[in-house]
Amino acid sequence: MTNVRVWIFRLLLLAVIGLLVYSWFQPWWQASIETIGDDAAVIRPWVLETNMPPEVMAFVIGSQMPSWFAPVMWTYFGIVVLVLLVSLFITNREIHLWKIRVTLPGFMIWMAGFSYIVVVVLAVIVAAIRTGEYYYMKLLGTTLIDLGGEMVANAYGNLLIGYWLACAAGPLLIVLALLRNKIMGKTS
């Protein structure tokens, strides 16, 4: 019976890892501009993509993330996925954190979930700051933007399903970490 419970936990963890990976590859935010299109600007966890005509691109020069940002984010993502996969195969080795004893795999899963929550929260904060720097655009909702000359358009910013899935992945990892021993049928 215990072996079945171990596999149930592993399948649950693999499902959440799948959710995390899927959310990572989905766009998290999008700006739609009336005269340009639905995907004028798209934010993914590692990049800001723009799909604007050359005459408008001059207004968003400098909006890109620094050159080091994408490699750092991909390294972070790789480490998180690797830690989660390794946690599947580590036995119930215990570690001591101050006066608390926890299993190493549970701690690894908890840390991965917590770090992903931090990334998701920081992403929306940085996106709100960066979008406000250009045209004083709101992260969510409609903003009337001046594209220069007589070009004025409504821009609509919204968080996409990838962001909301990412919001769920971190807390689900923490819940799995906290319930790991109960699901697996082991006493703490």
In the predicted model, is pLDDT for residue 188 greater than 60? no
In the predicted model, is pLDDT for residue 187 greater than 60? no
The model's confidence at residue 135, banded by pLDDT at 50, 70 and 90, is: low
CA atoms of 66 and 87, how far apart (whole Å): 32
In the predicted model, is pLDDT for residue 123 greater than 60? yes
Average pLDDT rounded to a whole number, residues 138-161: 82
In the predicted model, is pLDDT for residue 152 greater than 80? no
CATH topology of domain 2-184: Butyryl-CoA Dehydrogenase, subunit A; domain 3 (1.20.140)
In the predicted model, is pLDDT for residue 57 greater than 80? no
Give pLDDT, residue 59: 59
The model's confidence at residue 163, banded by pLDDT at 50, 70 and 90, is: very high
Longest dimension (CA), the chain: 72
Give pLDDT, residue 162: 96
Give whole-number Cα distances, 160 to 25, 26, 40, 95, 188, in Å: 12, 8, 14, 39, 39
- The C-alpha R_g of the chain, in whole angstroms, comes to 21
Which of 1-10, 39-48, 145-154 has the weakest average pLDDT? 145-154
What global pTM score does this model have? 0.85
Q: In residues, how long is the chain?
A: 188
Give pLDDT, residue 65: 78
- Domain definitions of the chain by residue range: 2-184
CA atoms of 119 and 6, how far apart (whole Å): 29
The model's confidence at residue 95, banded by pLDDT at 50, 70 and 90, is: confident
Q: What share of the chain is helix, strand, coil (3-state, %, to 5)?
A: 55, 20, 20
The model's confidence at residue 168, banded by pLDDT at 50, 70 and 90, is: very high
Provide the edge-to-edge strand list for the sheet that holds 151-159.
47-50, 37-44, 29-33, 151-159, 141-148
